[in-house]
Amino acid sequence: MRKSLLITTCCLLMALGASAQIPSLERVEPMFWWVGMSNPNLQLIIHGKDIASRNVQFTYPGVKLVAVHKVENPNYLFLDLRISQSASPGTFPIKFVKSGEKALTYQYTLKKRDHSKGRAQGVTNQDLIYLIMPDRFSNGDTKNDSIAGLREMSVDRSKMFSRHGGDLQGIMNHLDYLKDLGVTAIWLTPAVENDEPSASYHGYAVTDHYKIDPRYGNNELYKQFVEKCHSMGMKVVMDLVHNHAGTEGYTIQDMPMKSWVHQWPTYTKSNFRDAAVMDPHVSPSDRKQMLDGWFDHRMADMNENNPYVQNFLTQNHVWWVEYSGVDGFRLDTYPYNDPQYMADWAKEVRTEFPHLSIFGETLVWSAANQAFFTEGNTVNRGLDTHLPGITDGVWKEAVYEALNGHKGWTDGVNRLYAVMAQDFLYKDATKNTIFLDNHDMSRFLSVVGEDITKYKSGMAMLMTMRGVPQMYYGDEILMKNFSNPDGLVREDFPGGWPGDKENKFTAAGRSKKENDAFNYVRTLANYRKNTTALQTGKMMQYIPQDGVYLYFRYDNLKTVMVVYNSEEKDQSITTQRYTERINGALKARNVITDETIDVSKLTIPAKATLILELLPDNTH
């Protein structure tokens, strides 16, 4: 098997030789579409042996064949259609004809759009996102563990890089657990087909953009999953990969043209330096390697300057929203994509679905680097990215420093204060997704040395600071490990498989320590779900003093005061300094313990955080 699929003249000659074989119609994508879309243009990709030797014929009221594009590989045709607003739902035959041979026919369907309430509604700072790797959460259908014809057939839970058997049905079986926890949105790592020979359980080596991986279920089950979430008051985030595709996909194995992916004389990996995209002094070769270098031998780097690639990706993403009703997109490896294409993509998707939320994975080292990729930051760019928010890894690192670091002018908890002060860099920082860990990094509990007090403080900050909070599956039951390698932080959720010795989905299956953590998170998450001050309220923070960091979240309904003691010793403080925001309140309710306390003087245990809802005077 080839380690790299850089197309060569030899490969193209092989494709040309396909004309001698029996013609067939192997793919038409998108398989169907809808009338009434904002964009009337649709480009069909047709794949089949020597399909370019045939003429295209169809008639349907309101649909016009604008152009037929033949490309380097005769196994492809690209059809440009224009669907007028007068077109009605229906099915019509598209014929591919050639003199002396039997016509090939595809019955193409235009569907009516689904305008049901609650579809593509967007994920906002009113939500709590719960990230799941489908292969590692729960196995609800053992019959789909091994699928004939796929390259990886084995299931072995003892091996971290093998398939484990988790699936969509398993997730659906535990939606009650997530709702009880306080989750309002579920983000799955990519659930579309990853038919690579090994280690593609993570989902980021897509081989079929239009097909749910059969080991997880099928397209209809995915749609049912979204609908069931909606019926329970939860939303769904779909994970997209623009930058690269798995090398076993048909458009890579039999490329339409050389320029479908970025080509190099020899295999060239990205330098993974996001600064090369924004550096005014950058070497062109460094920038090219950052954007055009491959992520991995088995992740071909898509050429997003190619208009056929652009249409292929964008239409696929629009298709999934209209088909399933998902509420938001998380964009993988955002800095590695072509900036102009991603800006155009965001505009088109948001035109079709105005409420759909979008956030990009950046994972860079500074707030300025993150903000560079967000909408409204056009300085020295020449474009607006139209990207509302990013995954705020800089906030995460600042929280780590606040919990683990030592007091200094820019160290310890002062780092967190300074990062929050840089929110001026964003058009709207509340659209950033904040998190403590995910599938690509060490688990939060391990990062804080398995210190439960630090763990609770981190969770308190996650649930009370600005932005869209995101948890990683198992955080609430104290799952741990360092990402060395990543497979160690992608372990199975205990109780998700038939025959598991422990079932952490239930209180009876959890230890006392795990139940304490679970109950803390559940109390806080559900309080947040019912407190607009923590969702959309304003934030006011105070410069840390003697290691104590205090901030408020407030609106017209409530004021919540959060106090973190970063020192290794208990501290007592008076609150006279904060009277402008306390605004005459004398008492507060501890959100976790439900006790009422005097707010004039507070005692905060070492490394602990108090979450206090200020009570109006007329309460007492």
Token digits of residue 287 = 């920038």
Rounded CA-CA distance 333/364 in Å is 11
**Beta-carbon contacts of residue 114 (< 8 Å; ≥ 6 apart):** 322, 325
Cα torsion for 30, 32, 37, 39, to the nearest 10°? 30
List, for the chain, all residue ranges whose pLDDT scores fall below the cut of 50: 1-20, 619-620
Active site residue: 292, 361, 392, 567, which one?
Answer: 361
Token digits of residue 250 = 């048909």
Fill in the amino acid letter for 431: K
The answer to whether 570 and 602 are in contact (CB under 8 A) is: no
**Beta-carbon contacts of residue 541 (< 8 Å; ≥ 6 apart):** 417, 420, 421, 549, 550, 551, 552
The SS3 assignment for 260 reads helix
The answer to whether 5 and 300 are in contact (CB under 8 A) is: yes
Rounded CA-CA distance 407/366 in Å is 20
Q: Strands 185-188, 192-193: parallel, antiparallel or unpaired by DSSP?
A: unpaired
Catalytic annotation on 617?
no
The CB density around residue 512, as the number of other CB atoms within 10 Å, is 6
The CB density around residue 312, as the number of other CB atoms within 10 Å, is 21
Rounded CA-CA distance 596/615 in Å is 9
The answer to whether 185 and 157 are in contact (CB under 8 A) is: no
List C-alpha distances in Å: 467 to 125, 387, 423. 5, 15, 11
Rounded CA-CA distance 518/356 in Å is 31
| Half-sphere exposure of residue 599: CA atoms within 13 angstroms, side-chain side | 29
Active site residue: 135, 239, 322, 332, which one?
Answer: 332
Buried (b) or exposed (e) across 589-615, using 16+ Cβ within 10 A? bebbeeeebebeebebeebbbbbbbbb
Reply yes or no: is the peptide bond before residue 485 cis, omega within 30 of 0: yes
Fill in the amino acid letter for 529: K
CA angle 328, 334, 340 (to 5 degrees): 100
Rounded CA-CA distance 358/345 in Å is 11
Rounded CA-CA distance 491/499 in Å is 16
Rounded CA-CA distance 552/563 in Å is 9
Listing DSSP states for 392-441 in one string gives -HHHHHHHHHHHHS---SSSTHHHHHHHHHGGGGSS-GGGSEEES--TTS
Catalytic annotation on 450?
no
pLDDT of residue 56: 98
Beta strands in 204-354 (DSSP E): 208-212, 235-240, 244-246, 299-301, 328-331
The answer to whether 38 and 352 are in contact (CB under 8 A) is: yes
The answer to whether 371 and 425 are in contact (CB under 8 A) is: yes
Tokens 């926890």: give the residue. Answer: 181
Beta strands in 322-396 (DSSP E): 328-331, 357-360, 389-390
Rg (CA), the chain: 26
Q: Strands 76-83, 90-98: parallel, antiparallel or unpaired by DSSP?
A: unpaired
| Half-sphere exposure of residue 261: CA atoms within 13 angstroms, side-chain side | 30
The answer to whether 303 and 340 are in contact (CB under 8 A) is: no
pLDDT of residue 382: 86
**Beta-carbon contacts of residue 76 (< 8 Å; ≥ 6 apart):** 45, 46, 47, 51, 52, 70, 256
Token digits of residue 603 = 């005692």
